[in-house]
Amino acid sequence: MPGTADRRRARPVGRTGGGPTGGCGKVAWLVKPRPGEGPVETGSAGSVAEISGGQLRRLAAGTGLAAQADLAVRVLHEMTTPWNTRAAADLPPSDVSADGSPVEFAAGIGGCDPSVQFAVEPMTADPGPDARARAARAVMARLAHRGWATAERWSAVADLFLCQEATGPHLAMYGAEFSGAGLAGCKVWFYPGCTGGDRAPALVREALGRVRLPGAWAAVVRHARGDFSGCRPILFSLDLSDRPTARTKIYFRHYGVRPDDLSALLADHGFDAGETSAFCRLATGGGTAFSRQPPVTCLSFTAPGGRPDAATLYVPLWVSAPDDATVQRRTHRVLSRLGVSPVLYDRCLAAVARRPLADALGLHNYLALRSGPVRHRVKCYWSPELRHTDPLPRYRTTALPGTAHAGPVPQVPQVPRGLVRERRWSGP
């Protein structure tokens, strides 16, 4: 129970000055759990703004974007106002990261130009949908006021997802991406299941029509193979821009699938079937993780004709390894097969991590592979671990070995037994 950690197995963890992240801080006790135990209980020091702001600065420096760090932190602060002065433990669990942290970081690993992005969920002390909808609307208003985003496309669909009929605990997320030129853009993700999972496809179809992409619905149906019970639309995303290149994205969670199933599905979008299967198996240590945590795919649209411009595969990483050091080694194998240097990935991981990788699991959320004109475009997604380590699977499947199809079971509540301290550390 809380407060009764086995001190015989505890040891101090320190990140001292001189490493790539610099600085110093209080030493915290990190307890390695026994098999079957829950999240690691590690205490807390610092607000959401203090911890995530420091991680974002280090991540920008690690990707060669230090000149954009101040702007990135300002945008993060604006998106997380007013709740960013509180500790994550004082807020309801979020859907952004696997441990319930309301922030997620990402960086492009394989591509021409470095980029850093983050996502946040507008939080309130009241977890009810009415309060969450007000918070989501307030973020959009602030971004537009600052000139960082335009609200026209958001306004076209917001009433579908931030509505009185919404019953889900999560309604919207916001994000921003930065490149060497500065703020590349802001985006929003809405939850089509906000009024019930069965109504999600209809909400997606209506939203596509409102953003002048009615022809994209046929591609959505084809991607789901006409079966929205096993391939569920879970997010509807918009670039908050009035540029002709502004994207609309639909995200799907796939239940009861194997790597070969994903390979066949994504072959329609320019993925090499063999590379897709290898990507899944190397990233998860064999591909069996999908029976515990369903993978995600995404279709991106810009042209009114309805044909996807690109597709992306997201492989979950927090359910199939004993610790993040193992995930790091697996990611190195993925990058090696794709001909991508691991140096940038390692720098980014060191920037986000606040503990030794071998001590727990939960830093890595997803590893993504995208199709398109640039081959082997890889992006990694990390949790700031603002709540706890070793998160449980979420949105699990009912799939058993040998079954061809499965449906979702309720999400496992993420109830942390403790919070993660700022633990200074010099690298992976």
Catalytic member of 41, 50, 78, 104: 104
3-state secondary structure of 61: helix
CA distance 410 to 145: 38
DSSP 281-336: HHHHTSSGGGGTS--EEEEEE-STT---SEEEEEEE-SSSSSSHHHHHHHHHHHHH
Q: For residue 32, what is the DSSP state?
A: P
CA distance 348 to 380: 9
CA distance 176 to 388: 24
CA distance 58 to 68: 11
Chain-centroid distance of CA 347 in Å reads: 19
**Amino acid residing at 228:** F
CA distance 96 to 81: 16
Catalytic residue flag (residue 50):
no
Rounded to 5°, the CA angle 190-196-200 comes to 55
CA distance 59 to 351: 5
**Amino acid residing at 390:** D
Rounded to 5°, the CA angle 320-264-119 comes to 50
Active site residues: 104
